[in-house]
Amino acid sequence: MVTISLTQPLSTHVKLSKGDKLKLTFQVVEKDGGKGVQPHQTFLRFYDEESGEEGIQPVRVTNGGKAKFELDMAKPPVSLPPTSDVPLKVTLLIGSPLHSPLKLELFDLLVPASQALPVHPEEPNFHPLPEIHHTFRPDQKMPPRPISAIFSAVVVAPWAVLLALVGD
Amino acid sequence: MAPKSSTTTSANVVQALWKAYRDDTADRLKFIDAFLFFLMLSGIAQFLYCILVTDYPFNAFLAGFASTVGQFVLTASLRSQVNPENKKEFKDVSPERAFGDFALGSIVLHFFVYNFLG
């Protein structure tokens, strides 16, 4: 059992194996007076710095400000993000309209690596597509001059026929 | 003319047809027929070029071919309207009117052809 200081995050990683359980208890009190406070929002944030994955776990706090959170590796909570060998940074986030917000870095958590995320079927649409290189049809060419000349004569010949027929 | 015997060959029949054409057709109609023949030759020549060599400026082929075919159609209709033997069919179309239609149609056709030739 370890007490976490408010001024310094824990120096050693907390390592959890398959069958381990992590229990976290704390009490939220006012700065001056020490009266218990039930904040509107209390979250534990698990953040993987390398992949950018994060999970948010809401924590139930009693009227007196007491809170208890249990992480059982045999039944991991849905809020635990996909993990690899990189440790998760665990932060406590507290929000309340009557007090200033609190963001407290607690400790680094090492859990067994999860299965790789399935690739979203739309994933390729979010990256630039491969560049298209068009190859256009080569330009059409004129036929060689002699053939052109011969067929010009062939096409003009009917005029001669017409003049012969009409000028009788 | 005396009727031919049953042993007439097809060459003789063609010759007889040709002779009848030469003798019996009015000069005006033969003039038009010469023009029709000329148009046909011209169209065939252009079409052969397109098939055998290239259709490279395709619009040019279309314009030239359409001009011969279109003019052929206009001239053929003029011929049928002007033929005195068809007078019963075209009671309210005088030969002058037919020629006017022919001229107008030809102008429109050549306007299209000239623009399409490119």
Express each pLDDT in B55-112 by its tens digit: 888 999 999 999 999 999 999 999 999 988 888 888 888 889 999 999 999 999 999 9
pLDDT for B3: 55
Examine the predicted complex and report whether its ipTM is higher than 0.85.
no
Residues near B16 by beta carbon (within 8 Å), at least 6 away in sequence: B4
Cβ of B41 within 8 Å of Cβ of A142? The answer is: no
Average pLDDT over chain B, rounded to whole?
Answer: 89
Q: How confident is the model at residue A19 (pLDDT cuts 50, 70, 90)?
A: confident
CB A22 within 8 A of CB A70: yes
Q: What are the backbone angles phi and psi of residue B95, rounded to the nearest 5°?
A: -60, -35
Q: Give helix B27-52 / helix B58-82 axis angle, nearest 10°.
A: 160
The SS3 call for residue B63 is helix
Residues A93-122 have pLDDT tens digits of 999 888 888 888 888 888 888 777 777 788
Cβ of B54 within 8 Å of Cβ of A143? The answer is: yes
> Who among A151, A155, A162 is closest to B35 (CB)?
A162
Cβ of B38 within 8 Å of Cβ of A147? The answer is: no
CB A145 within 8 A of CB A114: no
What is the chain A residue with the closest CA to B46? A155
CA distance A156 to A150: 10
Cβ of A162 within 8 Å of Cβ of B34? The answer is: yes
Residue B1 confidence (pLDDT) above 70? no
User: A148 to each of A70, A143, B54, B118, how far by Cα in Å?
Assistant: 92, 6, 10, 18
Q: How confident is the model at residue A42 (pLDDT cuts 50, 70, 90)?
A: very high
Residue A77 confidence (pLDDT) above 90? no
Residues of chain B whose beta carbon is less than 8 angstroms from a beta carbon of chain A are 31, 34-35, 37-39, 41-42, 45-46, 48-49, 53-54, 56
Q: Which of B92, B53, B87 is nearest to A155 (CA)?
A: B53
Instruction: Tell me the pairing of strands A102-110 and A88-95.
Output: antiparallel
CB contacts, 8 Å: B53 with chain A: 143, 147-148, 151
CB contacts, 8 Å: B38 with chain A: 158-159, 161-162, 165
In this structure, what token pair is assigned to residue B3? 């009727």
In this structure, what token pair is assigned to residue A98? 């009557």
CA distance B55 to B45: 13
pLDDT for A84: 79
Q: How confident is the model at residue B5 (pLDDT cuts 50, 70, 90)?
A: low
Which of A156, A165, A168 best probes binding to B when mutated, by most B CB atoms within 10 angstroms?
A165
Residue B59, min C-alpha distance to chain A (Å): 14
CB A96 within 8 A of CB A39: yes
pLDDT for B75: 96
* Burial class (CB within 10 angstroms; exposed 0-12, middle 13-18, buried 19+) of B40: middle
pLDDT for B19: 92
Residues near A159 by beta carbon (within 8 Å), at least 6 away in sequence: B38
Task: Please name the residues between 123 and 162 in chain A that touch chain B, using a CB distance below 8 Å.
Answer: 140-143, 147-148, 151, 154-155, 157-159, 161-162
Share of chain A above pLDDT 90, in %: 21
Cβ of A165 within 8 Å of Cβ of B38? The answer is: yes
